[in-house]
Amino acid sequence: MTFWNSLLALGALRCFLLRLPSSSALALTDRPVLKYGTAWKKEETSKFVHQAIMAGFRHIDTACQPRHYREDLVGEGWKTAAKELNLKREDLWLQTKFSGLGAHDADSIPYDIEASLETRVRQSLQRSLHNLQTDYIDSWIMHGPENNWEDHFKVWNTMEEAVDEGKVLQLGLSNFYRLEDVVWAYDHARIKPKVIQNRFYSDSGHDVEIRSFCKEKNIEYQSFWTLTANGDAYRHPEALQLAKEKGLSPEGLFYAFCMTLGISPMDGSTNEVHMKEDIALMNRIRSGEQIFADINEMSIIGNALGTPNWNTRAEEDEL
């Protein structure tokens, strides 16, 4: 190794140890990772995105869906934080979504409802690029299933064009809860989905089969409603005691549980202290620390989820 390479390596290591906001500290493609979720933050979206990035978040999730997201304010928030931290666009990972017609309020649809489905998809992307003040999207997700497979592939094939054009780096699916639908969409896609983002809750059996498929195909499984839907698990008396022993909040322990399973949770905290605590926890996990001593400690939370066989076979082997 040359002197200059040695110096660069030392600098990267120092950034990691000091948790400096540098892209060399941890690769954006590493996972699992906490992603900052921006739904329902309305006019305060810019403030919270700015705080999240200042706290150490580098993955930001949004959608071109004015009903629940202010995508334009996500753009303002990341630009302001990046300027203050001297971050480049490539130091951040931006994920947004195409949302079908039924996902919008009539007075805030971000595309021409009279246009073809393919044109709506293209218009949505152009709106996202404008809102987010960027010339590319790291991850673009189909926000939910269409009414039939013909329309599904009209949307998906148009999204694939954006990858071909360099406007988008990868594609994903959200709100797909039947394994057979995920498999069909995957098998018949020219550009395979790299993300499945679903609600993580007992009604879907915590997506055990879908998570197993994701592991098999190297797809990132992202969870939302992670805390909202699972309070009984992380507030269980034994879980509360375990959190105390680990020096974590109950919510932090549950994030650690998810990340130990290979899940990348959406984290929508609006509290700066909690943001920093969550990033510190994530860095501990991504640097190799084992928060849980063994499968027995994991099972304290897992068995309280309300889903039998809560971990996939691959997860159990790893644990």
Average pLDDT of span 16-43 = 72
**d(Cα 142, Cα 131) in Å, to the nearest integer?**
18
| Range 211-215, long-range pairs (CB < 8 A, 24+ positions) | 211/261, 211/262, 211/263, 211/312, 211/315, 212/312, 212/313, 212/314, 213/179, 213/182, 213/183, 213/186, 215/262, 215/312, 215/314, 215/315
172: number of CA atoms within 13 Å, CB side? 28
pLDDT at 189 over 50: yes
Average pLDDT of span 156-167 = 98
Position of tokens 């549980």? 257
CA angle 181, 98, 126 (to 5 degrees): 145
Over the stretch 103-148, which tens digit does the pLDDT of each residue have? 899 999 999 999 999 999 999 999 999 999 999 999 999 999 999 9
Phi-psi region of 166 (alpha: psi -120 to 50; beta: other; left: phi over 0): left
* Residue-level pLDDT at 7: 31
**d(Cα 50, Cα 79) in Å, to the nearest integer?**
8
Over the stretch 217-239, which tens digit does the pLDDT of each residue have? 999 999 999 999 999 999 999 99
79 is written with which tokens?
A: 């630009």
> Which of 17, 100, 91 lies closest to 58 in space, CA to CA?
91
| pTM for the model | 0.90
ω into residue 32 within 30 of 0, thus cis? yes
Position of tokens 């620390």? 289
